[in-house]
Amino acid sequence: MTSTSATSAAPPGEGAASFDRLRYAGVFVLLFLFGTETFLVSPLLPTIADSIKVSEAAAASGVTAYVLVYAVFAPFLGLLSDRFGRRRTLVAGTVLFVLSNVGAAVSSDLAGLVLSRALAGLAAAAAGPAIWAHIAETAPDAVRGRALGLGMALFSCGQLIGVPLGGFLAGAAGWRSAFWALAVGTALAVPLLLRQVPAGDPAAERPASGGAVRALLAGWGDPVLRRALLVNTVFNAANLGAFTFLGVVLVQRFDLSVQALGLVGVLVGAGSVAGSLLGGRLGDRARAAGRHNLPLLPVWGALLALGILLTAEGPGLVVALVGVVVWFVASGGFVTDQQTLAGTVAPELRATSSAWLTSTMYAGTGLGAWAIGAYGDAADSTPVVGTVLAVVAAAGALLVSTSLRNRQVAG
């Protein structure tokens, strides 16, 4: 529980400075498909609502169902992964993801849509933490951050590439075709998962110890993980809480069209991809130099504050768009560093810790959106609340980094 880094589970003879990306093809494909579905539903809401004859607000309850189910069940399913192995929860989650997309594709009413979205959230809650834990414990230590960053980049590519592809399919063959494509793509990934995720993975060999509730909350008992989870909550209150109102801010400032906002979404995805890859690479270089304290963690918080400020207050559209890119480079880098921390600080809690990262992310998003909405006009409150929370997150991240360094010295 107090080790500063995990022992690499890479096969003997595997290069320390590189890793075999094809070895992770199955989980990388799954991350891309998860990212696609996460971002796909919102732009399809008007079409879906018209098809099943409900309001857009009612159709949006499917999005709420996905988020709530993931946030509530991810820690429990992460614990199952830590106790009984990655393969079981990963394959079960993947199969359920196939069924949930089939369910969405054949939904004829709101109840069916909401149920299918809830099942998709449950599927992602089972498979997601297991994926991150699998990457963290099998990638060579020297490139662990790069491997996690690539996985996060592919998740972000769901927005950058998967959503336009899904939109094209929906326009050509109806919205249901996008969910059929997700179901087929996920089913095709199952044989790869069965080949690439071993049945005798390290988690399955770890004896179960302690009660379920105690194990579920064990991460909060570790001082470093507890601080990291609190910082994660505050960071995403600024990051995704402010993102909720990004369209409002840009429309009020520059009177952008819906099409222009779609292009801003491309910048969001591109920034996230770049930040994820950059965060992984820079983190690996820092660890190679003996700095295992994630020294860039507070930097991402400071960059987030700068990005929000430039977006909401910067002079002119070009500066605002540069702010959007800075904002989401910081977001991608921060998430990669946090996944690296979850995968190394407490090896026996990898999946549970990763699941808590997602749950606190959603909690932070809700708190941030509430704070910005309660403060007053969103265009005015977004830069104030978002920047202040980002600065607080940067200060908290500095404490996390200091705690990691002290633990390294003590160990």
Residue 1 in this model has a pLDDT that exceeds 50: no
In this prediction, residue 211 carries a pLDDT of 65
Query: Which residue ranges form the domains of the chain, and what is each CATH number?
Result: 22-216 (1.20.1250.20), 218-411 (1.20.1250.20)
Q: What is the DSSP string of 82-129?
A: HHH-HHHHHHHHHHHHHHHHHHHHH--SHHHHHHHHHHHHHHHHHHHH
pLDDT above 90 for 303: yes
Q: Which structure tokens are listed for 259?
A: 């099409």
Residue 210: its pLDDT value, please? 56
- Is the pLDDT confidence value at 217 over 60? yes
Condensed to tens digits (0 to 9), the pLDDT of residues 343-363 reads 888 888 889 999 999 999 989
The mean pLDDT value of the chain amounts to 87
pLDDT beyond 50 at 11: no
What angle do helix axes 258-288 and 317-344 make, rounded to 10 degrees?
40
What pLDDT, on a 0 to 100 scale, did the predictor assign at position 68?
87
Percentage of the chain with pLDDT > 70? 92
pTM value? Answer: 0.85
* Local confidence band at 19 (pLDDT 50, 70, 90 cut-offs): low
Candidate from 39-48, 218-227, 274-283, 401-410 with smallest mean pLDDT? 39-48
The sign of the CA dihedral 394, 261, 163, 369 is: positive
pLDDT: which is higher, 232 or 44: 232
